[in-house]
Amino acid sequence: MCAILFMLVLPEDLVDTRGNEIYRVLYIIDGDTIQVNTDQGRKTVRLLGIDTPEVKGPYTDEECYGRESSSRAKELMIGQNVKLKKDKLNEDKDKYDRLLRYVYLSDNTFVNELLVKEGYAFLYPWFPFEFYEQFKVHEDKAREEKLGLWSEECEYND
C-alpha cells in the first residue's frame, strides 16, 4: 500500500468567496496598525473604526495602555492569515497610504470589534463607518466595566 502526501501551498494573498482579501500578518506596528504580506510586498493596514493608545515611537510618546493594546493585537494576529474587508462608507486608503480595513481571523473573530469590547481600543468617532453603533455599545460597556484602558490605571474615563 502506498500513501501519497499532498501539500497545499497557497499564495500570500487570496480572495475569499465574498471578495474579502486574505493576507498573512507579518508585523504589528501598534494596536490599530498592522503590516501584511502581499504579492506587491508589505502593505500597512489601519484597522477601521478604532483607535488604540500610542506606543513609544519616533513621533509619539507612549500612552497609558499602549503596550497592552499592541500586545493583544500581536497575540491575536501575528503570523495569522486574516481577512481584510473594506467599508462601504470609507476610502480605500488614508492620507498615509495605509489600507483602511476591518480585520477578521480565520475563525471569523472580528478583531476591530473585539479590541473595543475587551477595552484595548477606543471607538474612533471622527468619521462614519458601518459598525459605528455596534462599536459604541461595546465601548460604553467596556467603560462601564472599567476594562483595559478604561481602568482606573488610565485617566481616559475622566
For residue range 30-69, list pLDDT tens digits in order.
999 999 998 888 999 999 999 999 998 888 888 999 999 9
pLDDT for 10 beyond 60:
no
CATH of segment(s) 14-150: 2.40.50.90
pLDDT-derived band at 18 (thresholds 50, 70, 90) equals low
Q: How far apart are CA 116 and CA 3, in angstroms?
A: 48
Catalytic status, residue 143: no
Task: Spell out the domain ranges in the chain.
Answer: 14-150
Q: Percent of the chain, pLDDT > 90?
A: 73
- Per-residue pLDDT, 32: 97
| Residue 139 pLDDT exceeds 90 | yes
Which residue out of 12, 63, 67, 98 is catalytically annotated? 98
Q: How confident is the prediction for the chain on average, in pLDDT?
A: 88
Residue 134 has pLDDT above 50, yes or no: yes
83: enclosing H helix or E strand: strand 81-85
Catalytic annotation on 46? Answer: yes
> What pLDDT does 158 receive?
61
pLDDT for 19: 59
For residues 48 and 94, the answer to whether their CB atoms sit within 8 Å is: no
Provide the CA 109 distance to its chain's centre, in angstroms. Answer: 11
Residues 6+ apart with CB under 8 A from 21: 13, 14, 15, 83, 84, 101
This prediction's pTM? 0.86
pLDDT of res. 38? 85
Catalytic residue among 21, 54, 68, 113: 54
- Catalytic annotation on 54? yes
What percent of the chain is predicted at pLDDT more than 70? 87
31 alpha carbon, distance to own chain's centre? 7
